Amino acid sequence: MSEISDNSAEKQFNQIDFEQITTVVSSEFQVEEALIEHNIPTYYLRQQQETKQAFLKLLEKLETSNNIAIMRKQDGRIVLRVLPKPPTKQSNILINWILFFATIITTFFTGYLLSGDRLDPIVGGASFTIAIMAVIGVHEMGHKLTANRNKIDATPPYFIPGPPPIGNFLGIGTFGAVIMQKSLPPNKDSLFDIGASGPIFGFILAIIVSAIGLTFSQAQPPTGTETFLPAPLFFDLYLIFVMKPPPDFAVFLHPVAFAGWVGMIVTMLNLLPAAMLDGGHVSRSIFGEKTRLVLTFLSISMLIVAGFWPMAILVLFLAMYKHPGPLDDVSGLSTSRKLLAVVLIAIFALSSFIHYFVILLLSLMGL
């Protein structure tokens, strides 16, 4: 998704168009100066006025003429520009269905292999597929429903099939799923909602799936041939207070529990305040572009330390593109959403291995 630029205006606005647009803009804002710059109706607004609701009302009024508006601060002034609404390409829903069924096959094969000799592989394959597709699907549908509610044009989820576990490669049968936004969020509130909705919905289901899966998981003495996974904080808390395995026992994850583990990791990675990730949208709505860039490179450093090299490379690649921001990049974020950011931090902590880093840091400090 790229920012709407001044060069996107191919439509020629004549004097009558300009006067009509000026009347609409003036009905919602106090305008200090109105002019046409590079064929774009441009308005410099008075500083001390309400902008958030006025901008939303303006977008509704411009919809009838198939125009949109963008609002930015420029050299200490509030600048509003009116542009033709960019055309959106129709999605081919057949591609979504093909990828969906391909991911069902690859995740079933993953669950089949994970079952080993402890579980009927057909049951293991089916249970893993249902659990992992539900966690990933709910995450993406959280984004999609939020986009629809905020009148943001977005595609249905694209599920991405991936390799199953082969040899020492811990494949999970999928690389997740994505939706593509075809239009910008109207303001910082909607940008925050888009970023936060997926991780919140996905984490809730990941907790349910993890709890169910851990109930069916077995604690046994290790044989020395196991592959040990780092436990998210939620898993450690569940083992300590609910499952309570004997000391020196290993917990052999049921395929459903492994799906919950994957859901936790997906939530953690998506909540990193970096690039175009969900956490990047949240940090962009709260702090702005400059701070988001700093947080992006801190996130890349954390991924490298944690050994998530492929994700670190992906985030570095995404960081090369400037975040477009919302259409209204002037109005502030609501207080309720700033408070909700604290909940997102708690979700990040519960779904991550951050407690290991804290323990390591305290041990290095001799505490």
High-pLDDT (> 70) share of the chain, %: 93
Q: What pLDDT sits at residue 228?
A: 82
Which pLDDT band, with edges at 50, 70 and 90, does 89 fall under?
confident
Residues 179 and 328 in one domain: yes
Report in angstroms the alpha-carbon separations of 360 from 124, 269, 334, 353, 366. Answer: 36, 21, 37, 11, 10
pLDDT digits (tens, 9 = 90+) for 218-270: 998 887 777 788 899 999 999 999 999 998 898 999 999 999 999 999 999 99
Look at residue 311 in the predicted model and tell me its pLDDT. Answer: 87
- 286-301 pLDDT tens trace: 999 889 889 999 999 8
40/103 same-domain check? no
Q: What pLDDT score does 10 carry?
A: 59
Look at residue 30 and tell me whether its pLDDT is greater than 90: yes
Contact partners, residue 297, CB within 8 Å, separation at least 6: 319
Residues 79 and 33 both lie in one domain: yes
Last residue of a domain, one of 32, 54, 84: 84
| Whether residue 17 has pLDDT greater than 60 | yes
> Given this model, what pLDDT does residue 359 score?
64
Q: Is residue 1 part of a domain?
A: no
The side-by-side arrangement of strands in the sheet containing 77-84 is: 31-37, 40-45, 77-84, 67-74
Same-domain pairing of 68 and 122: no
Note whether 26 and 166 are same-domain residues: no
CATH number of residue 21's parent domain = 3.90.1070
Confidence band, pLDDT 50/70/90 cuts, at residue 79: very high
pTM of the model: 0.91
- Residue 54 burial (10 A CB sphere; 0-12, 13-18, 19+): buried
Q: CA nearest 268: which of 356, 184, 360?
A: 356
Residue where a domain terminates, one of 63, 84, 105? 84
- Confidence check: pLDDT of 1 > 60: no
Residue 170's pLDDT is what? 77
* Residue 5: predicted pLDDT: 44
- Is residue 341 pLDDT above 70, yes or no? yes
**Is 120 among the domain residues?**
yes
**Is 124 a domain residue?**
yes
Domain with 177, as residue range(s), is 93-364
Answer with the one of 67, 84, 101 that is the final residue of a domain: 84
Structural domain count of the chain:
2
Residue 59 covered by a domain: yes
Q: Are residues 41 and 131 in the same domain?
A: no
